[in-house]
Amino acid sequence: MAKQRVRPIWNQPDTSRPPPTLPPSYKTMLYPAYADRLSKNIPAENQMRDISLSRKSAEHVMFMNAKRKNYHKIRSANENQSRYCNICSEFIMPGDYTSSIVHHTHNSSKDYRILAPADRWENYPCITCKTTPHSHKIGERYPVLVSSSILNNWQGIRSMSGYEGDEIHIDYLTIPGATVRELEHAFMAGYGNVHRAVDVLLVAGLNDILRGATDHEILEDIQHFSDSVKSISARSGELYQGSFAAGTLPFPPKITVIKDAHRKIVNDRKDLMISLTSMIREFNRSGNHHPVLPTQLAPCFHTWESGQKNHCHHSLALGC
């Protein structure tokens, strides 16, 4: 009887660790299943690993290419200053010939992703998603939440809140204290030269109000931000266009007082907030919206207090 041939161990598949999970956005509009044409001759997990590594390398190259040519000199002269932002200080908007050193707390999930350690499948530990670690390639499109302190670290401590994490990966760019213009500058430094459609939700504007901006000035800056986002994608067609929407703003007690409230503040900006809310909602409904994505349905965060019989509750204003 012929002796059965035994395959050597090194030819067996590696089962010491499970294969990588699919990216959270896979098979959605953000990451269509047909986006990556995988060969049948190579294990799918190996191809997904190479795709992840390729995206990470491309993001790093594009990020570095966005910096000013003399950024080393700028960093050397200023990096010891408190809260020096090497991202915003070392980038200059196209057509802007002025430069300034920027000091703020710059939180970017994309910058974190570029520097994060990777496992053997080239997946990185995402700090916002339910599924983690996952691929550096989060999708064919970039979904980005841009905000000031309003939504900075909005997930909080998940072990206490019970929130399991985002079902689909969304990039976050938040800068406490930033105005709309400052957030646009930071966004363009990180995403201005990517070659994919970017979908932005902006939730900001309170810092503009605190600095004396009018509702029309804020809306003008929002429109400018929107134009910048839509100029990014280099491909044609409705599906490849970037999108932009602005969330309405909460009514902070620091700058607003309702009619029946028994308190006073030096400068009540309630009327300005109501006007800006209406303008933002109209902006989302107007020709600004995306031909495919429902950007007119941007979230309405604005609330105000209304007192009845010494009780206070929150209700959405203006019919949202």
pLDDT at residue 96, rounded to an integer: 72
Q: What is the pLDDT of residue 22?
A: 82
Q: What is the per-residue pLDDT for 40?
A: 82
Contacts of 214 (CB under 8 A, 6+ apart): 272
Q: What is the pLDDT of residue 38?
A: 81
Q: What backbone torsions phi and psi does residue 22 show, to the nearest 5 degrees? A: -70, 150
Cis peptide before 143 (omega within 30 of 0): no
Find all residues with CB under 8 Å of 315, minimum gap 6, and list them: 303, 304, 306
Q: What's the CA gap between 206 and 280, in Å, rounded?
A: 13
Q: How high is the pLDDT of residue 19?
A: 66
pLDDT at 265: 83
pLDDT at 27: 86
In this predicted model, what pLDDT tens digit does every residue of 16-29 receive, in sequence order? Answer: 555 677 888 988 88
Determine the distance from the C-alpha atom of residue 266 to the mean position of all C-alpha atoms in its chain, rounded to a whole number: 35
Residue entry with tokens 């390639």: 137
| C-alpha dist (Å) from residue 112 to 59, 121, 176, 280 | 11, 18, 17, 31
Mean pLDDT rounded to a whole number for the chain: 85
Residue 154 CB coordination number (10 Å)? 13
* pLDDT for residue 312 is more than 60: no
Q: Mean pLDDT, to the nearest integer, of 130-157?
A: 94
Per this entry, what is the length of the chain? 320
Characterize the bridge pairing of strands 134-135 and 142-147.
unpaired
- 284-306 confidence digits (pLDDT tens): 998 777 878 888 889 998 865 43
With a cut of 60, say whether residue 69 has pLDDT above it.
Answer: yes
Whose tokens are 């997930």? That residue is 155
Q: How confident is the model at residue 61 (pLDDT cuts 50, 70, 90)?
A: very high
Read off the tokens for 241: 């266009």
